Amino acid sequence: MLKDKIEELKKEKDVVILAHNYEIPEVQDIADFVGDSLGLARQAAKTPHKTILFCGVHFMAETAAIISPEKKVLIPDTNAGCSLSDSINLEQLKKWKSEHPNAIAVGYVNTTAEIKSELDYCCTSSNAVNVVKAIPDDKEILFLPDMFLGSYVAKMTGRKNMLIWAGECHVHAGITPDHVKEKLNSLANAEFLIHPECSCTTPMMYDVANGSYSSNQVQILSTEGMMNHVKNSKSNEFVVATETGILYRMKKQNPDKKFIPASEKAECEYMKMITLEKVYNSLLNETNVVTVPKETADKARLAIERMLAIS
């Protein structure tokens, strides 16, 4: 069986397999660690293995290569990209920075290594609020590339001097307030877990603050935040507004609880590109090595290390 062959190769070649929460179930099952981008970056930083096989999208594998330059990083499919990462390029960022020479650039981890090399701070959805809070109040901030996460952070920190890039993740942007309201109305006892990249986040935060959802609990959380929340919650029913791949891990770890996607269509085709066959081939042939030029990596590492230091 392919699964057994992967296990053998992994041991033989001293490989650790990291998989994102949105990967297909059989890929999650063969991984040594499953988590969000921050959790996986931390695993990449501390793993003793000489090779990292990254089951996720390309920017995540690049992050691992930047953090662990002495290790070999493989990705099973080099075409596993990211619509959010594609929403800003190096020229656009340099121009934006030149228009605001004293600003601090804060970029989401969902960006290319080139973009990261131009940032002061990197962040993930789980620590974006804390990263922005760590920057002096009088400093102007350029936040990129996710406009929904940016709006959420600005609201949570009360920051008035934060400029936000107009990028989005096509999957999360597709989860609308209508999707959530429809489920809210039909599931009175469910808790709602919403990823801050969703287009429903910004309007819903105001509604939450106004007490519009008094009968439902609404939490805005990163994917790992969602995992921790459902484990500790006394609720038995959850509506989950993020990519549907996370439901597999939720059900596996909480078999007695019920999980409903806010939108059944919230699937990332890039995350689903990685299959067991591709994992096996990448391990066997050590193909699709992800490398980042040293100069770019050295500059990007500083922003990532700042992210890892702020939990």
Q: Which residues define the annotated binding site for iminosuccinate?
A: 20, 37, 108-110, 125, 195-197, 223
**Non-local CB neighbours of 302 within 8 Å, separated by 6+ positions:** none
- Please answer whether residues 92 and 118 qualify as being in contact, where contact means their C-beta atoms are separated by less than 8 angstroms: no
Residues 62, 114: Cα–Cα separation, whole Å: 10
Residue with tokens 């501390």: 46
- Please answer whether residues 103 and 159 qualify as being in contact, where contact means their C-beta atoms are separated by less than 8 angstroms: no
Annotated binding-site residue numbers for [4Fe-4S] cluster: 82, 169, 268
Residue 130 φ/ψ, nearest 5 degrees = -70, -35
- Please answer whether residues 4 and 252 qualify as being in contact, where contact means their C-beta atoms are separated by less than 8 angstroms: no
Strands 162-164 and 218-220: unpaired
- Please answer whether residues 275 and 254 qualify as being in contact, where contact means their C-beta atoms are separated by less than 8 angstroms: no
Closest CA to 200 of 229, 178, 225, 223: 178
Annotated binding-site residue numbers: 20, 37, 82, 108-110, 125, 169, 195-197, 223, 268
